[in-house]
Amino acid sequence: RYKRSSELFRQASRVLPGGVNSPVRAFKSVGGTPVFVREAAGSRFTDEDGNEYIDFIASWGPLLFGHAFPPVVEAVTRRAQKGTSFGMPTALETEVAELAVSMVPGIEKIRFVNSGTEACMSVIRLARGYTGREKIIKFAGCYHGHADAFLIEAGSGAVTFGSPNSPGVTQGTARDTLLARYNDLESVKGLFEANPGEVAAVILEPVAGNMGCIPPEPGFLEGIRQLCTDSGALLIFDEVMTGFRLAAGGAQEALGISADLVAFGKVIGGGLPVGAFGGPAEIMSHLAPEGPVYQAGTLSGNPLAMGAGLAMLRAIEADPEVFSRLESKTAYLHEGLEHVLQEAGHPYRINRFGSMISVHFSDREVRDFESAATGNNDRFRNYFHGMLNRGVYLPPSAFESYFLNDALTAEDLDLAI
């Protein structure tokens, strides 16, 4: 069934570390061959062996409307023919910015970059430049990309991204990163108290999605908002997963809590490399060329990326019901899986917040990265292989949330269940 994929994996392993880009840890954990994708459209993709799969991860977030979404394909094709040049503005970039600013609460200015990582890294630099402070509070298990400007100890399983002790993470980075526990307001309070007047920002995933799906407990985000306001630190929402997915205004809209700065990736590019970050003009004006914090990139805001961004945001603007449809589909999957897993009699736990969902094969309460790590086991491996062989692509999610796309039909959902 996976003959050509196996050959391709061997070939790839000679030139690519591990034979795969790192998110394919899912396959490492199940000891299988990665699926090499030949083509994709809507809710489905086909591998190099001709097997067809229903996709339940949407490229781990970006594909809100499904694969090869025609407005994005059309925009990118058209823009590619028109050339690109760094340093010369385009009206197109302004159009995307205007639309984003109109959709996301609290954002007056936005800057485009090439990935979620870059957005998070940039927003940290901006927070440091704006406050004149160095220290950043982040949460164990929250992932903010692969740059080492601040982060550390993120989720995603046996692989711990950039722990403070891993080679390549600078001592300064580790020293200035203060680690708190998700849904544990006291741990945040303690760090503020131990570092008075030194914390530049708190960064977090407003709904954690990189250690399975862990919604914020009541009062947690409100408490952090207050601590930041009281101490002059900025609250940063990393909305790379939640932005333009939970609602047009992301988690800020879905949860009714305002951040000072917000980082975006994934959906805003519809599968192309687009990241962005935004906030009030007063803070964003600290960016060059208006202010002292230099941040600019050769490919940022290029017409291909902006074409994709405009197509995605326009599609969302024209169809605001997409979020409730996604939530209903996810709730349907949730209910169906509950039923099946209950009947099977194995321990399991399903976490869901709106259209983010994770399935854990353990009855332990999943509160954080450590307990999420216990949720991945042999039973999940067997389920995963069973689903894969039936053409359902639902890889182990102990460390990730699943993301449904709007192209999934009722029939697709029933097949998965």
Q: Tell me the catalytic residues.
A: 143, 238, 266
240 binds ligand PLP (CB under 6 A): yes
Joined together, the tokens standing for residue 168 give 């390549």
How far apart (Å, rounded) are the C-alpha atoms in residues 51 and 6? 13
Stretch that binds ligand PLP, among 83-91, 216-224, 236-244, 294-302 (CB under 6 A): 236-244
Q: Which span sits near ligand PLP by CB under 6 A: 138-146, 225-233, 290-298, 344-352?
A: 138-146
Q: At what angle do helices 91-103 and 303-318 cross, to 10 degrees?
A: 40
Residues 155 to 184: which contact ligand PLP by CB under 6 A? none
Q: Which stretch binds ligand PLP (CB under 6 A): 49-57, 67-75, 233-241, 327-335?
A: 233-241
Pick the binder of ligand PLP from 19, 32, 42, 116 (CB under 6 A): 116
**Cα–Cα separations (whole angstroms), residue 151 to 160, 174, 288:** 11, 8, 24
Question: What is the C-alpha separation between 318 and 305, in angstroms, rounded?
Answer: 20
Select from 205, 327, 368, 412 the one that contacts ligand PLP (CB under 6 A). 205
Nearer to ligand PLP, 162 or 348 (CB): 162
Smallest gap from residue 62 Cβ to ligand PLP (A) = 8
Diameter of the chain by CA atoms? 61
Name the burial class of residue 41, with classes exposed (0-12), middle (13-18) and buried (19+) by CB atoms within 10 angstroms of its CB: middle
Question: Applying CB under 6 A, which of residues 2, 9, 143, 264 lies at the interface with ligand PLP?
Answer: 143
Q: Which stretch binds ligand PLP (CB under 6 A): 29-37, 49-57, 110-118, 315-323?
A: 110-118
**Closest to 144 (Cα-Cα) out of 225, 237, 215, 283:** 237
Q: Please pick, from the candidates 33, 117, 330, 405, the single residue that binds ligand PLP as defined by CB under 6 A.
A: 117
Q: Give the range of 85-93, 170-178, 211-219, 234-242 binding ligand PLP by CB under 6 A.
A: 234-242
β pairing state of 199-204 and 135-139: parallel
**Site for ligand PLP contains 241 (CB under 6 A):** yes
Contacts with ligand PLP: how many residues (CB under 6 A)?
14
User: What is the nearest approach in angstroms of ligand PLP to the Cβ of residue 146?
Assistant: 6
Give min distance, CB of 155 to ligand PLP, in A.
9
Residues 6+ apart with CB under 8 A from 192: 137, 199, 227, 231, 233
**Shortest separation between residue 69's beta carbon and ligand PLP, angstroms:** 18
Q: How far apart are CA 400 and CA 57, in angstroms?
A: 9
Contact residue for ligand PLP among 42, 66, 141, 145 (CB under 6 A): 145
Binding mask 245-274 for ligand PLP (x = CB under 6 A): --------------------x---------
Here the tokens at position 148 are: 């080492």
How far is Cα 150 from Cα 381, in angstroms, rounded to an integer?
A: 34
Outline where DSSP puts E strands in 115-248: 135-139, 177-180, 199-204, 234-238
Q: Report the DSSP pairing between strands 135-139 and 275-279.
A: unpaired
210 binds ligand PLP (CB under 6 A): yes
Residue ranges binding ligand PLP (CB under 6 A): 115-117, 120, 143-145, 205, 209-210, 238, 240-241, 265
